[in-house]
């Protein structure tokens, strides 16, 4: 399967409702075992989508395909050409300083200036010359986000980026991700195990079950009137049930 590029022009007058992802009947198996059995999905430019699913349901497999790391899937796939991915572990090169890590593979003019600006945006002014091993887990993941955002992606793929962080750092990273998304408006696909993380960050929440999207839940944050505590609690219960967790009411 070859990935086709979706043209995205951010000037709204030029494209009414551009897509960052268009997937039809996507299938992927390994060693004769089906993992993705028929995914259909459209993600609009600028939309924030969270992807939940039990362990082994194929979330990372889908992200790898979207990123172009796996060309052996079947189906139709169109994706925005400017994409970045962030993994649970920041995957920094330990022998390169922070700024050089952010610059790595970056093309075009003013590479260092852009990288410095990206580090400033994630709150790491003054750490440009630090070595990755001297950073905390949260700081290292900030570098990971800077390295992803400096490329101005139309599609930001996040594979459990905050899964290894403590609860407080995770909350700070949520705030940071929100502000990065406000400023740059990429479409986002966030893989997470955390239903509450999905509920606070995403406009839309998907559940992957047996290789298909079994639930596609609207979670529009822009209408606070619709995002009441009761509505959120109902969505949480629904998502947990879809994931096979049935809450016991005391
Ligand atoms: N390269 C590969 N070769 C063989 N099997 C693979 C390969 N990549 C993934 N799989 C299998 O595909 C299934 C889905 O894996 P994947 O990592 O996508 O799940 P996941 O939903 O991201 O899981 P988790 O939430 O535990 O990270 C698993 O059974 C896994 O063993």
Q: Which pTM does this prediction carry? A: 0.93
Residue nearest to atom 16 of ligand 1 (CA): 58
Which residue's entry shows tokens 């994706």? 79
Is residue 11 a part of any domain in this protein?
no
User: Ligand 1: residues whose CB is within 6 Å?
Assistant: 30, 35, 53, 55-61
Is residue 104 a part of any domain in this protein?
no
Is residue 110 a part of any domain in this protein?
no
Q: Does the complex come out with an ipTM higher than 0.90?
A: yes
Q: What is the per-residue pLDDT for 224?
A: 67
Residue nearest to atom 4 of ligand 1 (CA): 30
Cα separation, 60 vs 78, whole angstroms? 18
Tokens of 95: 């022998």
Predicted confidence (pLDDT) per residue in 38-88, tens digit = 999 999 999 999 999 999 999 999 999 999 998 889 999 999 999 999 999
What is the number of structural domains in the chain? 1
Is residue 148 a part of any domain in this protein?
no
Q: What is the full DSSP assignment across 33-100?
A: EEEEEEEEEEEETT-EEEEEE-TTSSHHHHHHHHHTS----EEEEEEES-EEEE-SS----TTS-HHH
Is residue 175 a part of any domain in this protein?
no
Which residue's entry shows tokens 């989508």? 49
Tokens of 163: 């899964």
> What range defines the domain where residue 202 resides?
17-82+186-245
**CATH number reported for the structural domain that contains residue 217 in this entry:** 3.40.50.300
CB 213 within 8 A of CB 48: no
Give 60 Cα–ligand 1 centroid separation in angstroms.
Answer: 7
Is residue 91 a part of any domain in this protein?
no
């Amino acid at each position: 399967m070859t990935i086709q590029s979706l043209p995205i022009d951010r000037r709204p007058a030029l494209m009414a409702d551009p897509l960052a992802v268009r997937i039809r009947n996507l299938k992927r198996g390994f060693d004769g075992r089906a993992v993705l059995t028929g995914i259909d999905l459209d993600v609009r430019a600028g939309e924030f989508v969270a992807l939940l699913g039990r362990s082994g349901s194929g979330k990372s497999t889908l992200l790898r395909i979207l990123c172009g790391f796996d060309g052996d899937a079947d189906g139709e796939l169109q994706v925005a050409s400017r994409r970045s991915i962030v993994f649970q572990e920041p995957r920094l090169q330990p022998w390169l300083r922070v700024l050089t890590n952010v610059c790595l593979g970056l093309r075009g003019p003013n590479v260092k200036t852009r990288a410095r600006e990206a580090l400033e945006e994630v709150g790491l002014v003054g750490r440009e010359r630090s070595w990755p091993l001297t950073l905390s887990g949260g700081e290292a993941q900030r570098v990971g986000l800077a390295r992803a955002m400096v490329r101005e992606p139309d599609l930001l793929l996040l594979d459990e980026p905050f899964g290894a962080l403590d609860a407080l750092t995770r909350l700070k990273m949520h705030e940071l991700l929100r502000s990065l998304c406000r400023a740059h408006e990429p479409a986002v696909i966030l893989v997470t195990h955390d239903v509450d993380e999905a509920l606070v960050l995403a406009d839309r929440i998907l559940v992957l079950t047996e290789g298909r999207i079994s639930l596609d839940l609207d979670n529009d944050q822009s209408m606070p009137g619709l995002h009441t505590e009761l509505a959120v609690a109902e969505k949480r219960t629904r998502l947990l049930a879809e994931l096979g967790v049935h809450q016991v009411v005391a």
